[in-house]
Amino acid sequence: MESSERRTVAELVAARWGDHRPGLWFEEKALTRHEVAAGAAARAALLADLLPPGAEPHIGVLLDNTPEYPMWLGAAALAGAAVAGINPTRRGPELARDILHTECRVLITERAHLPLLDGLELPWGSPRASAVERGGVRLLTTDSPEYDALLAPYAGARPDPSRATPHDRLLLYFTSGSTGAPKAAICTQGRLAAAGHSLADQFHVRPDDVHYICMPMFHGNAVIADWAPALAAGAGVALRRRFSASGFLADVRRYGATYFTYVGRAIQYILATEPRPDDRDNPLRLGFGTEAGAVDAAAFEARFGVRLVEGYGSSEGGAAVQWSPGTPPGAVGRAAPGLVVLDPETCAECPPAVFDAGGRLVNGDAAIGELVNRGPSPFEGYWRNAEAEAERRREGWYWTGDLFCRDADGYLYFAGRGDDRLRVDGENLSAAMIENILARYEGAAAVAVYAVPDPVTGDQVMATVAGEFDPVGFAGFLLTQPDLGTKMAPRFVRVVERMPVTATNKIHRAGLRREGVRCADPVWWRPPGEREYRRLTEADLLTYVEGPLAPTRGPSEVRRQGLEPRTR
């Protein structure tokens, strides 16, 4: 069977059986493609015995990027099950909610993450055991002797893809939304296999390529844009437990990596490492991702000799924009048929964006709207969230929730995200969730959380607090909140006597975002790498927030602060 005929991920996994070339690298370990397929088959056989009859065949995976992650993805595909990627930056009740919401009957983790489970209200006894079953949930700890013993009887299993169909759920990937709680986007085997084939064709992936997976596999980026095309093309993969800027180039050379994906500020972190004369001596030929920014993309290519291709898409799969030759600087790509920018209130198409000679968007108020797919959409819905699904499918179209503008030639420019969404270091966050946590602060009479632009890419978290504010006490308060994720702490805190409201008595978030850090009220901030807050000064603004350390923004970076470029 040719790879182009393989319509399920299970078929792609099974195709590796009998291929004894090296295919997976992790630290000092190398596995053949056959060993990876055999490992997936053994775990699929184990899973068939673990999942209770009649239950949703869902497993949670709370792992770093170890060989266990792709083998459990393959196991789920072979078993007709679905993987919920559990985010280890989540904490407390919110982490428990993710596991319970996706109805996981098996949770795969490792000893390093066991402390995250302590004290959670989950239907099991002690999460310290490597394999316990209470209340229908089974916990497997992959780096325990008990786990090896549990797998041993299934070591001779062969991969059988016959039970899988393209319509089987395979991924439940969390994405933040306006309701506060993350939504679990559904991705079937057919969609993931098709995405893998498409990207493998687009980037001419060959069996002798090696895909470097350094982004977390609980995100769709690593699985959909990195693992899937490697699987579809028969290429190898190299795993990094967690992203490391200092280890990036050494890994690339050690594994002979030719392709990698990135999100958020990963490219900036790599560029911040000490340059070396031999930086261009590497096997990479392509990087694919989002939010690198035109300045950093150019600097990366100049330093490492590697072209970065920016794209737009999401785990939901409802809309995608691909870069192509001729795309103007700052643009994401040309709008495919069906993609339009609409005024969300009137559903009318926004007029074309107009830029002046300096690249400033001069008609942002009219040109910026929501990106909508009015054509066929591969969006497959959310797990147990009909309200959010209906919001995405208004008028029979797919509404992305993201702001764009489109020029007269059809090129799209990213202009921000919806009111309640933030993207910090590649993490999608919900402002409502952060507000609920900050509202516990004793001095706060009211709290509003919103995004302000990061100097390079993505967002930073800003909060306005009405009431009393003690910077030392506030920093201490944040450290004691069990459900405050590692990306959620506000970078900036504006302190007001009374929260500004609209005529309908709602918090005037648009005004707060428009004013950003340049406002008449006191603003406290937490410099990068520090935990304590201090008053934001004009020197801080000029040096760290808007000044020489902040690269010049292109049109695609024009966003929330009034949707107009900032004046210096």
Write down the domain spans for the chain: 3-188, 335-417, 421-557
Q: How far is CA 289 from CA 224, 273, 302, 332, 426, in A?
A: 11, 20, 18, 11, 10
3-state secondary structure at position 91: coil
Query: What percentage of the chain has pLDDT greater than the value 70?
Result: 88
Assigned fold of 421-557 = GMP Synthetase; Chain A, domain 3 (3.30.300)
CATH of domain 3-188: 3.40.50.980
Q: How confident is the model at residue 398 (pLDDT cuts 50, 70, 90)?
A: very high
**Mean pLDDT, all residues of the chain:** 87
Residue range 221-232, pLDDT digits in tens: 899 999 999 999
Across the range 127-148, mean pLDDT stands at 71
* Rounded-to-integer distance, Cα 181 and Cα 249, Å: 37
Helices (H) and strands (E) in the chain, counts: 18, 27
- Is 445's pLDDT higher than 60? yes
Q: Do domains 3-188 and 421-557 have the same CATH topology?
A: no
Contact 143, 131 (CB under 8 A): no
Q: What is the pLDDT of residue 383?
A: 96
Residue range 328-364, pLDDT digits in tens: 877 889 999 999 999 988 999 999 999 877 666 778 7
Q: Which residues contact 278 (CB under 8 A, 6 or more apart)?
A: none
Tell me which of 19-23, 405-409, 421-425, 535-539 is least confident. Answer: 421-425
Q: What is the pLDDT of residue 124?
A: 66
Pairing between β-strand 321-322 and β-strand 307-312 as defined by DSSP bridges: antiparallel
Residue range 275-313, pLDDT digits in tens: 999 999 999 999 999 877 677 888 899 999 999 998 888
Nearest 10 degrees: CA dihedral of 481, 64, 457, 400? -90
Assigned fold of 335-417 = Luciferase; domain 3 (2.30.38)
- Is 503's pLDDT higher than 60? no
- Is 457's pLDDT higher than 60? yes
Q: How confident is the model at residue 324 (pLDDT cuts 50, 70, 90)?
A: confident
Residue range 463-474, pLDDT digits in tens: 999 999 999 999
**Residue 226: HSE in the Cβ half-sphere, 13 Å Cα cutoff:** 31
Q: What is the pLDDT of residue 522?
A: 95
Q: How confident is the model at residue 110 (pLDDT cuts 50, 70, 90)?
A: very high
Q: Which helix (H) or strand (E) holds 71?
A: helix 68-79
Q: How confident is the model at residue 191 (pLDDT cuts 50, 70, 90)?
A: very high
Residue range 61-76, pLDDT digits in tens: 999 999 999 999 999 9
Across the range 157-170, mean pLDDT stands at 96
Q: Which residues contact 100 (CB under 8 A, 6 or more apart)?
A: 122
Q: What is the pLDDT of residue 133?
A: 43
User: Token match 């993350």: residue?
Assistant: 182
Amino acid letter, 209: D
Q: ∠ CA(280), CA(284), CA(288), 5° rounding?
A: 120
More confident residue, 394 or 446: 394
Residue range 242-277, pLDDT digits in tens: 999 999 999 999 999 999 999 867 887 898 899 999
Q: How confident is the model at residue 111 (pLDDT cuts 50, 70, 90)?
A: very high
Contact 261, 225 (CB under 8 A): yes
More confident residue, 486 or 180: 486
- Is 420's pLDDT higher than 70? no
- Is 83's pLDDT higher than 90? yes
Pairing between β-strand 106-109 and β-strand 82-85 as defined by DSSP bridges: unpaired
Radius of gyration of the chain (CA): 24
